[in-house]
Amino acid sequence: MIAAFVVLAAMVPAAGTALGAQEVEAELPYTCAFPSGPQAVTVRVAARFPDSAAKGETIVPAEVTTTVELPEAAVAELDAAPGAEVRASTELAVALSQGEARAEASWRGTAQPATVPAEGPLVLESAGDVPSVTPGSAGELSLRASTLEVAFAMGPASGPADSEPEPSEPVSVSCSLAEGVPHNGLLATIPVTAGEEHGQAEGQSPSDEPGESARSEPKDPERYAPPPGRLRVDADAHQDAPPCRAEDPTPATLTAYVTGYSNVRKLDGSSLIPLSCMVIEQGISVPLDENFSGLRQPAEVNFSYEGRRQTPPAKATFLTYGFVPTTATMVLEQVGRVHLEADLRFAPYLNVISRIRASLVLRLSDVKVNGVSLDVGSDCRTKTPLTSPDPEPDRFPEDHMVLHGYSYHIPPDNAVGYMVSSGGPLTSEITIPAFTGCGTSDGEDLNRLLTASISGPGNYVKQIQGQACTPAEAATENMKDFCTPDGQPLVIPKPER
């Protein structure tokens, strides 16, 4: 089932916004996967929520903090001497549910530096902006703490040079709720009514209130308002989605947005894959074998941006050699085929293995090192497409990367994972080839510099595709929640790490 809220970026409260009156502080036991093994960790989540809200009213969690208390055994895992400073960032997944509808929001925060104690626990309290929630139907809305990601960075404390602890390697851990947590990590329940917006007089719209029109949001309510009884998870509702239209679409044509992150291993950082348009032409399904145990659904995919087969330009920032700030504009350009195959098997339950084989080169421009422009020319790119191992190299011998998706469906539960029509996560590990065409107007060759800094294997990619639109059927009842009236995808996916 497609769900029933919109998750929006944190924002200034406007008309039609439910503000916090319900103060919550939950202490939850977590188990975190440290390098040497699991450790028990205490996590306290504090926030303020409204006592109630109305359908279509934005709920803004306020004063949100996530406090991680590491016992002495877990502190030892950080490999930081007493007196060293620890900086931490947290990302708490919060599960949203209302009836049968489901969604997830990420609560990110950063903690002030804390000093490693000589003995005893280390307490780190993080805070930051969190997404707001807009329920699309009436009924009790529940928020539950789910998985937690914590990144620790250690450094020497201030003091005499001969007494400073040596800096330690960063540590990142994934944490999950311990077994048997009461109420499955429940943080809050908010009754949502079907009546007029909370606190709003009958017959009065938010724009009727003096001084509110300039703050009302989103800018395009028809595009971002949650359909009743359904759920749509967005990234920032204010982000500018590029046009995504298919020329002369047929009933087999799909359009969808995709976004995500790609690591650059040598630079120890990640780059956002900007919100991009994909036009998907589905082919004719064929049996997987003579026993008809399943079907293979092929499709051809093209990226689309201003008439070119590429992603929109995106700015990326890294610390080259660990300390030199470097920025560049990056584009993934399609130079060959992007082919999708989805293998559907019917027994013992429906499962789908999807692979997208994409011939994409990486282009760089507008490079700046420590704020100083580095002229790389107008044709700076990888020599060949990005690559990753292919499970069927004889069928697909050309250079390409392979994105993998998997889903399964065990009725009466909802399908889980990636399907081309409903979207979901796609992952890969790629090799960035050597660079070519990178140089200054006076003939300076920068190919070797960029190759040494960026190229190499082991770069993890995670893309999230949104729910697809069938533009030929955009005007039908079935597509009204997935397509704009002019046949563009309505669902905007949120990048995930």
DSSP string, 89-103: EEEEEEEEEETTEEE
Using alpha carbons, select from 90, 93, 109, 66 the residue that is nearest to residue 7.
93
Using alpha carbons, select from 87, 81, 83, 75 the residue that is nearest to residue 153.
87
pLDDT for the residue numbered 145: 93
Q: Are 55 and 194 in contact (CB under 8 A)?
A: yes
The answer, as to whether pTM is greater than 0.85, is no
- Residue 252 is encoded by which pair of tokens? 């087999």
Spatial neighbors of 251 by CB under 8 A, at least 6 apart, are 470, 472, 473
Spatial neighbors of 2 by CB under 8 A, at least 6 apart, are 230, 231, 232, 467, 481
Sole residue written with tokens 């976004």: 259
- The series of mean pLDDT values per 10 residues for the chain, 497 residues long, is 35 43 90 89 93 83 92 89 86 84 78 89 86 79 91 66 49 88 88 61 33 29 36 38 90 94 77 90 90 89 94 76 68 94 87 94 88 86 95 93 89 83 91 91 82 89 93 89 89 82
Q: Are 7 and 105 in contact (CB under 8 A)?
A: yes
Using alpha carbons, select from 463, 469, 450 the residue that is nearest to residue 497.
463
pLDDT for the residue numbered 19: 52
- CATH number assigned to the domain covering 5-193: 2.60.40
- In single-letter form, the type of residue at position 133 comes to V
Using alpha carbons, select from 98, 118, 91 the residue that is nearest to residue 56.
98
pLDDT for the residue numbered 373: 84
pLDDT for the residue numbered 156: 65
| SS3 of residue 314 by DSSP | strand
Q: How far apart (Å, rounded) are the C-alpha atoms in residues 113 and 90?
A: 13
Strands 58-59 and 22-34: unpaired
Q: How far apart (Å, rounded) are the C-alpha atoms in residues 360 and 409?
A: 32
Q: How far apart (Å, rounded) are the C-alpha atoms in residues 230 and 100?
A: 10
- In single-letter form, the type of residue at position 337 comes to R
